[in-house]
A and B are shown apart, each in its own frame.
Chain A
Amino acid sequence: MKNFINLGRDVNRLDGYDKVSGNAKYIADYEFPGMLYAKVLRSPHPHAEIISINTSAAEKMEGVIAVTHSGKCSHKMGLYLVDRPVFATGKVRFKGEPVAAVAALTEDIAAAAIKKIKVKYKMLPLVDNIEDALDKNATLVHPDLMKYSYLPIYYPKKGTNIFNHFPLRKGDIKKGFKQSYKIYENEFTLPQIQHVPMEPHGAIAKWDRNDKLTVYSSVQSPFTLRNLLRLAFGLSHKDVRVIAPYVGGGFGGKAGINMEPLAVALAKEAKGKWIKLIFSREEVFLGTTVRQAMRARVKTGIAKNGRIIAEEIEMIFDGGAYAEYGTNVVRAAGYTCIGPYDIKNVKGDTYGVYTNHLVGGAFRGFGHGELHWAVESQMDIIANDLKMDPAEFRRLNVLKPGSINSMGEKITKHTGDMVACIDAVAKDLKWGKPSKKPAKPYIKRGKGLAVLEKAPAMPANATSCARVKFNEDATVIVQFSGMEIGQGCITALTQIAAERLKMDVSKLHAAGLPDTDFSPYEWQTVASRITWAVGNAIINAVDDAHEKIKKVASKVLKVKASQLDIDGEKVFVIGNKGKSIALPLIIMGYQYPDGHTIGGPVEGVGTFTPHLTNLDAKTGQGHAAAEWTFGCEGAEIEVDTRTGELKILNLVGAFDLGTVINPSTARGQIIGGMIQGLGSAVLEELKYKDGKIANPSFVDYKIPTAADLPDKIKHIFIQTPDDGGPFGARAIGEHPMISIPPAIANAIYDATGVRIKALPLTDEKILSSLKEKK
């Protein structure tokens, strides 16, 4: 490992003071004079035609300033597939869909006014699950699907509920199965779940009479939001300004465009007034996005030596009422469909289908928690049937340097070390040795593990820009628009800047909260890509600033710029440190003794663009992964066979995250992700009754509390430097959530012999499976 001055160090979070003191402002904390408050009327039905909307009683109420609905605002929105209207238009497609909105002098008046809006509905047939959606005579949730605009990398199917089909073909699947010694086929499912950021979504918008729009929002992607708002409302980028305060958790739920258009639509009706719309917790459940439900069928062919030689996988995602962002979840899951395995012959078909459920979208893991649930359960079934050690079976079959992955990319030693991750987890779990015998005979203990991989899922033109600005005293302000959503990017990116500047991080200030009028461009804070991509842009920005300093210094010192180097304090001639200029004397321009000055204030600009290609439409082959992070997660558990009660004794995760920028914040990402993964494994499920969501509250939708922690939880860093990452770093944000569910399911099998193929792994489900087994 290199000798870094700012990396691999627990630099305290630069946003720490703001957040422990209450100084940090989130969207709901903003108030402006003359502000109006908004409320949304939502559909009580999952699928119905709108016969009429009558707003006259609401409009007549004292204190009501604006009322809007699809009659006034018929815009559609979407990042990848533009299928979602701001307000339900013609029909409602899920329970909770916005139908109308009111802005009033107070929240109470707005709340009373929406109750006075009369909407007449005529029920339509319900598309309540994947089977309904794929039925030959299915009701179409979007009969106009083919009229929507979408990026050409997606493949909706005419006359169906399929909004995207991603095919992947590698090798010769028929031959692979023909040569197989054993073939296994299983089906796995998982339900929709919610991100549950602690901060409810909110937006504050003002549409001025000169058609300039300003929006504050709890947003992961200020620039993409600006782009999608201007597309939806027909404005120019220069006339839309998005300002992003601290975000109280995102996890994908605040990516792309969300609820902002509701506030904007009201702002357009009440020009010149600030409109504040903050969602209630129930609205976060109903009116944002969720992780899509999925059903997967996996068929795997094994050679006599235990090598996987063929795999056919079909994944069907329940994208809910609108595909929008979720279109790309289908694609990302599709191109990684077999997980981190070296398999010669592959046939993958990944579909997204419309239903009348909550809208699916980006969620930490982005299709990978879903696909690994299926693949890593399947691998365990196979290993156990072959009487092979599940860890050894994986070591034999995972990607290694020289392997070709699902989409035809070659794995090198720089890609990461999957086997080292498996070894680290196995060691921590004392793999191969039986668990300590429990005191009671009805308690069964077991161990399980599961591997994972993920690359940032992004289009080939997802770009980043960063700036470094020198101050008079040679301290530096770093500017970027990666959003601080809790992951610690302000701190990590400032450390990267300091490292390249050869300065201590204390000499830097990060202007981390973006304002699209002033901040450098950033595509989105998603896909675990910020430290990696923006880190590279920052390195380029520092190099640009240094070139500018050297250009002036070369004139002053009368040497070539290439003969100069810069440390944190001065620019100097290489090999002659005495011949130098202190940075404060040059970074605002160099002044000669006679007063005349050359150069000027030094600002460096850097950009970064990943080198990616689109994937082949028929085979899914190409290069969509800018970098991979490999990992392995393990669990030791015990089950009370009388009650089905599951207790987590130990969770461990090892990830090859390359160079660790900040061990404390990296650990925070890993432990936090593993516990969110634990929630998705054993607790979380959005439940429907007659197509209506039945548990939109913390009373009925439980997430892990401190009381749910395992007895032990451990993170392990494997640090194989990434040759394309800033100082060798790679992504870690989403990965820790991904394979906790299969690791626990595999441990339950090890303990009890019961294989559960549907998440979540609740005590009730374990008990009923134990009973079935008897």
Chain B
Amino acid sequence: MSKDITLNVNGIDHHVNIQGNETLLKVLRDKLGLTAAKEGCGAGECGACAVIYNGSPASSCLILAVEAEGVEILTLEGITPKDHLHPIQQAFIDKGAVQCGFCTPGMIITTYSLLKSNPDPSEDEIKKAISGNLCRCTGYVQIIEAIREAARRLKRVKGRRK
């Protein structure tokens, strides 16, 4: 059964025709061309499909697109500034936190959300925050270092703005 809905993604309203059983992840990828979010398991266990949903990170493979109408959705594409990288993204590069890159969009989404609510997380808080994002390449150590570095840089940016 198909339905016309409006999805607010990265600040833009998109009018899309969806099937009742389609997930938000599928609609983002297949209908809006936003392919940063990945399908790693389709069961909400790996975090590769994470998006910011109503201000919190969520597995977009577990959300039906039809439920997402009226919700503010932010994807990695929406976090990336127009002509440079977000400090979190740059910190991931600088600290060697990227290998195959498949988990990276979800990791950055989770980091974005963590640092919004907790600008100065401890190592344990970082580990806890990303423990739902599986990575098979890095062993997480350089990801944790990148998150700490991103927190430092974001604080500096904030400090300058004051």
Known contacts A12-B94, A199-B100, A676-B139, A21 near B85 by CB under 8 Å: yes
What is the CA–CA distance of A485 and B131 in the complex, to the nearest angstrom?
23
Q: Which of A31, A108, A699, A706 contacts B43 (CB 8 A)?
A: A699
Contact of A698 with B141 in the complex, beta carbons under 8 Å: no
Contact of B35 with A25 in the complex, beta carbons under 8 Å: yes
CB distance from A305 to the nearest CB of B (A): 40
Contact of B45 with A198 in the complex, beta carbons under 8 Å: no
Chain B contacts of A196 at CB under 8 A?
134, 136
List CB contacts (< 8 Å) of B116-150 with chain A: 126-128, 130-144
Contact of B134 with A675 in the complex, beta carbons under 8 Å: no
Q: Which of A24, A246, A280, A667 contacts B96 (CB 8 A)?
A: A667
Contact of B105 with A248 in the complex, beta carbons under 8 Å: no
What is the CA–CA distance of A17 and B108 in the complex, to the nearest angstrom?
13
> A-B contact count, CB below 8 Å?
168
Chain B contacts of A237 at CB under 8 A?
none
Contact of A249 with B136 in the complex, beta carbons under 8 Å: yes
Identify the closest chain B residue to A673 (Cβ). B139
CB distance from B57 to the nearest CB of A (A): 14
What is the CA–CA distance of A195 and B102 in the complex, to the nearest angstrom?
15
Identify the closest chain A residue to B138 (Cβ). A672
Q: Which of A24, A25, A278, A668 contacts B138 (CB 8 A)?
A: A668
Q: Does A3 contact B (CB under 8 A)?
A: no
Contact of B126 with A706 in the complex, beta carbons under 8 Å: yes
* Secondary structure call for the A interface: loop
Q: Which of B43, B77, B126, B127 contacts A697 (CB 8 A)?
A: B43
Contact of A281 with B89 in the complex, beta carbons under 8 Å: no
Contact of A249 with B100 in the complex, beta carbons under 8 Å: yes
Q: Which of A21, A699, A707 contacts B127 (CB 8 A)?
A: A707
What is the CA–CA distance of A250 and B100 in the complex, to the nearest angstrom?
9
Identify the closest chain A residue to B26 (Cβ). A107
* Secondary structure call for the B interface: loop
Chain B contacts of A675 at CB under 8 A?
138-141
Chain B contacts of A713 at CB under 8 A?
139, 141
Q: Which of B80, B99, B126, B132 contacts A22 (CB 8 A)?
A: B80
Of A22, A24, A108, which is in contact with the most chain B CB atoms at under 10 Å from its CB?
Answer: A22
Chain A contacts of B141 at CB under 8 A?
671, 675, 709, 713
Identify the closest chain A residue to B92 (Cβ). A20
Contact of B93 with A20 in the complex, beta carbons under 8 Å: yes
Known contacts A16-B92, A280-B42, A198 near B138 by CB under 8 Å: no
List CB contacts (< 8 Å) of B84-120 with chain A: 85, 89-90, 92-96, 98-105, 108
What is the CA–CA distance of A664 and B30 in the complex, to the nearest angstrom?
35
Contact of A199 with B130 in the complex, beta carbons under 8 Å: no
Q: Does A674 contact B (CB under 8 A)?
A: yes
Known contacts A22-B77, A486-B137, A676-B136, A199 near B85 by CB under 8 Å: no
Q: Does A703 contact B (CB under 8 A)?
A: yes
List CB contacts (< 8 Å) of A95-150 with chain B: 108
Contact of A21 with B46 in the complex, beta carbons under 8 Å: no
Known contacts A20-B108, A22-B80, A248-B102, A198 near B48 by CB under 8 Å: yes
Contact of A706 with B143 in the complex, beta carbons under 8 Å: yes
Contact of A668 with B100 in the complex, beta carbons under 8 Å: no
Contact of B102 with A668 in the complex, beta carbons under 8 Å: no
Q: Which of A18, A108, A704, A706 contacts B101 (CB 8 A)?
A: A18
Chain B contacts of A13 at CB under 8 A?
93, 96, 98
Q: Does A385 contact B (CB under 8 A)?
A: no
Contact of B85 with A198 in the complex, beta carbons under 8 Å: no
Contact of A198 with B103 in the complex, beta carbons under 8 Å: yes
Identify the closest chain B residue to A677 (Cβ). B139
Known contacts A18-B101, A672-B138, A706-B144, A665 near B43 by CB under 8 Å: no
Contact of A199 with B38 in the complex, beta carbons under 8 Å: yes
What is the CA–CA distance of A16 and B94 in the complex, to the nearest angstrom?
9
Known contacts A24-B101, A249-B102, A706-B130, A200 near B39 by CB under 8 Å: yes
Q: Which of A12, A25, A247, A676 contacts B100 (CB 8 A)?
A: A247
Identify the closest chain A residue to B139 (Cβ). A675
Contact of A486 with B100 in the complex, beta carbons under 8 Å: yes
Binary contact track A353-389/B, C-beta < 8 Å → 1, others 0:
0000000000000000000000000000000000000
List CB contacts (< 8 Å) of A475-498 with chain B: 485-488
Q: Does B36 contact A (CB under 8 A)?
A: yes
Contact of B139 with A486 in the complex, beta carbons under 8 Å: no
Contact of B38 with A664 in the complex, beta carbons under 8 Å: no
Contact of A21 with B35 in the complex, beta carbons under 8 Å: no
Identify the closest chain B residue to A251 (Cβ). B136
Chain B contacts of A704 at CB under 8 A?
139-140
Contact of B100 with A198 in the complex, beta carbons under 8 Å: yes
CB distance from B66 to the nearest CB of A (A): 16
Contact of B40 with A21 in the complex, beta carbons under 8 Å: no
Known contacts A20-B89, A24-B101, A668-B138, A198 near B96 by CB under 8 Å: no
Q: Does A210 contact B (CB under 8 A)?
A: no
CB distance from B109 to the nearest CB of A (A): 10
Contact of B128 with A707 in the complex, beta carbons under 8 Å: yes
Contact of A281 with B131 in the complex, beta carbons under 8 Å: no
What is the CA–CA distance of A25 and B101 in the complex, to the nearest angstrom?
10
Chain B contacts of A19 at CB under 8 A?
98, 101, 104
Chain B contacts of A281 at CB under 8 A?
40-43, 46
List CB contacts (< 8 Å) of A659-681 with chain B: 664-665, 667-668, 671-676
CB distance from B93 to the nearest CB of A (A): 4
CB distance from B41 to the nearest CB of A (A): 4
Known contacts A485-B100, A668-B99, A706-B131, A28 near B38 by CB under 8 Å: yes
Q: Does B18 contact A (CB under 8 A)?
A: no
Contact of A698 with B99 in the complex, beta carbons under 8 Å: no
Q: Which of B89, B126, B134 contacts A705 (CB 8 A)?
A: B134
Q: Does A431 contact B (CB under 8 A)?
A: no
Q: What are 14 contact pairs spanning A and B, CB under 8 A? A: A16-B92, A19-B101, A26-B102, A196-B134, A197-B100, A198-B46, A199-B40, A246-B101, A248-B38, A671-B139, A675-B139, A697-B41, A707-B127, A709-B127
- Besides the known contacts A12-B93, A709-B139, 20 further A-B residue pairs in the complex with CB atoms under 8 A apart: A13-B93, A16-B92, A19-B104, A20-B93, A22-B36, A196-B134, A198-B100, A198-B102, A200-B39, A281-B42, A487-B99, A668-B96, A672-B138, A675-B139, A676-B136, A697-B43, A698-B43, A706-B130, A706-B143, A706-B144
Q: Please provide the 8 A-B residue pairs with the shortest distance between their CB atoms, ordered closest to farther.
A: A22-B36, A486-B100, A248-B102, A19-B101, A675-B139, A486-B99, A16-B93, A698-B45
